[in-house]
Amino acid sequence: MTDLAKHNQTMRKLFESSDFDSLRSMVDLDTIDAILRQCLSIEEMREAGSFFTGQSLATKAVASLQKPIDFDSIILDPNCGAGNLLIECSRKLETKSTLSLTLQCWGKVLWGFDIYTHFIEAAKIRIVIEAVNRGVLVDCSLEDAFNLLANIRVQDALLADKNDLGHVTHAIMNPPFSVWPSPIENYWKRGKVNAAGVFFDKYLRLLPHFCCISAILPDVLRSGSRYSDFRDFANLNFHGKCMVWGRFSPKAHVDVFILSGSLLMDDKYFINWHKDLGSYTPISDFYDVTTGPLVAYRDPEEGKLYPYFHPKNCPVWGTVDEVTEKRRFNGRVVEPPVILVKRTSSPSGKNRASATIINITGLIAVENHMLIIKPKSKKLKDCYNLLKILNSQETNDYLNDRARMRHLTVQIIKDIPFKWS
């Protein structure tokens, strides 16, 4: 964070010397990411969960708030970082004639928490610059301006309580996407979980009823089988809608969605996490789907020697009828004919369900980066029938709506419609 502190100091000096032209670009929501990447190592950014919301995504997140922002609002970003979302929110507020009058009004509306002092400092400086860029008369020092933004402060968002948040009318957030140890409370099970889910869950419990929320969240919370309890809890406490956005930014390889609505308990309302396909027959009615059991780096090469299949020796949309590689294995093996699908799958790829038919005699060992689809009929022709479905644009569209994660899951494959009309 040392370089970020230096960057903040540079902005302070430019403000104090009234070099506002040089500061003008500091509130560009797209270029700040590149600036801060120069100040922070990738390890620091990951530790802080600090990947900054670009202009188009910030605009959409703010526009998704169900009620407009005005001077009667109190809008909180509990993970405000360098302030991109708060700056975009400030653009919904009028300015007054002077900087002090403007910040006196804005400071009552704009609330932000972050655990890093340098981020809070950067957020405040940039909000001040935003006001100056909009033509207010500078009539106060930077320190006086900071004091008028007192509700943007260093605070651990996970340690806030209802007393801190009772008057919040709007919440907007881009929580960290880091993987954390589970809090092991409520429905959270042991192991690692996505931090964004923990934050969003926490604020569903803390914020007052009818508070408007717009949250930028990683797609794993929408699609991952491990987060079904998270989605059930959101369904019970949040009246809103889910909008798939796509990739967070050119430099952040994660897809996101915007969850927007208001806090309202309603057991008759369900969030549409995916497109409603109506009544249909899933492929699980005719095929069994499992994950390959062999973990190459962990399982010892002991036991019987089997034909061995993994992503590198499975030609996409091809049929393998000869053994090309063998490996010893003591675990569960599979009898062909089967279809193997690569689990790693990017939404930007041409085909999401890249598949190969294995049609050899005898049992085979399959690596765990492959999904195994076995026809219940045990017939090769049903493998070919399914291969056509997996290679269709309709299946691509289904998978891109259902899961924009970088891997496919057993349940997602099971739910593929067997026939497209």
Do 248 and 161 reside in the same domain of the chain? yes
**pLDDT at site 42:** 66
Q: Where are the beta strands (DSSP E) in 123-194?
A: 152-154, 170-173, 179-181, 192-194
CA angle 410, 413, 416 (to 5 degrees): 150
Whether 330 is in a domain gets the answer yes
CB atoms within 10 A of CB 21: 9
**pLDDT at site 9:** 92
pLDDT at 325 over 90: yes
Instruction: Provide the domain limits for residue 410.
Output: 283-414
**pLDDT at site 266:** 65
Across 373-401, average pLDDT:
95
CATH label of the domain that carries residue 14: 3.40.50.150
Alpha-carbon span 399 to 287, nearest angstrom? 18
Residues near 239 by Cβ (< 8 Å), separated by ≥ 6? 261, 262, 263, 264, 266, 269
Task: State the pTM of this model.
Answer: 0.87
Alpha-carbon span 106 to 409, nearest angstrom? 46
- DSSP 8-class letter at 294: B
- Tokens standing for residue 114: 């972050």
Whether 277 is in a domain gets the answer no
Do 305 and 188 reside in the same domain of the chain? no
When mean pLDDT is compared across 48-52, 300-304, 329-333, 350-354, the lowest value belongs to: 48-52
pLDDT at 1 over 70: no
Do 321 and 223 reside in the same domain of the chain? no
* pLDDT band, residue 252 (cuts 50/70/90): confident
Which of 199, 228, 263 marks a domain boundary? 263
Do 113 and 186 reside in the same domain of the chain? yes
pLDDT at 167 over 80: yes
Alpha-carbon span 119 to 327, nearest angstrom? 52
**pLDDT at site 415:** 95
- Tokens standing for residue 414: 């099971």
Alpha-carbon span 175 to 195, nearest angstrom? 7
When mean pLDDT is compared across 6-10, 65-69, 306-310, the lowest value belongs to: 6-10
Do 217 and 118 reside in the same domain of the chain? yes
* pLDDT band, residue 25 (cuts 50/70/90): confident
Do 16 and 104 reside in the same domain of the chain? yes
Whether 271 is in a domain gets the answer no
| Helix/strand/coil for 114 | strand
CATH label of the domain that carries residue 327: 3.90.220.20
Q: Amino acid identity of 265?
A: M
pLDDT per residue as tens digits for the range 92-126: 999 999 999 999 999 999 999 999 999 999 999 99
- DSSP 8-class letter at 12: H
Whether 78 is in a domain gets the answer yes
Cα–Cα distances (Å) from 30 to 25, 45, 72, 224, in that order, read: 10, 16, 29, 29
**pLDDT at site 182:** 95
Which of 195, 228, 263 marks a domain boundary? 263
Whether 344 is in a domain gets the answer yes
Do 308 and 224 reside in the same domain of the chain? no
Residues 387/357, Cβ–Cβ less than 8 Å:
yes
Residues 370/357, Cβ–Cβ less than 8 Å:
no
Whether 420 is in a domain gets the answer no
**pLDDT at site 285:** 96
Report the domain count for the chain. Answer: 2
* pLDDT band, residue 49 (cuts 50/70/90): low
Residues near 356 by Cβ (< 8 Å), separated by ≥ 6? 309, 314, 315, 316, 317, 318, 319, 320, 339, 340, 341
**pLDDT at site 50:** 62
pLDDT at 255 over 80: yes
pLDDT at 389 over 60: yes
pLDDT at 388 over 70: yes
Q: Amino acid identity of 288?
A: D
Do 256 and 122 reside in the same domain of the chain? yes
Do 291 and 228 reside in the same domain of the chain? no
Q: Percentage of the chain with pLDDT > 90?
A: 80
Do 247 and 295 reside in the same domain of the chain? no
* pLDDT band, residue 421 (cuts 50/70/90): very low
Whether 276 is in a domain gets the answer no
Average pLDDT, the chain: 92
Across 379-407, average pLDDT:
93
Across 221-250, average pLDDT:
92
| Residue that is written with structure tokens 């860029």 in the block | 133
Alpha-carbon span 380 to 336, nearest angstrom? 9
Across 48-63, average pLDDT:
86
Q: Side by side, which strands form the sheet with 304-309? A: 326-329, 304-309, 365-366
**pLDDT at site 378:** 96
Do 330 and 215 reside in the same domain of the chain? no
Residues 173/259, Cβ–Cβ less than 8 Å:
no
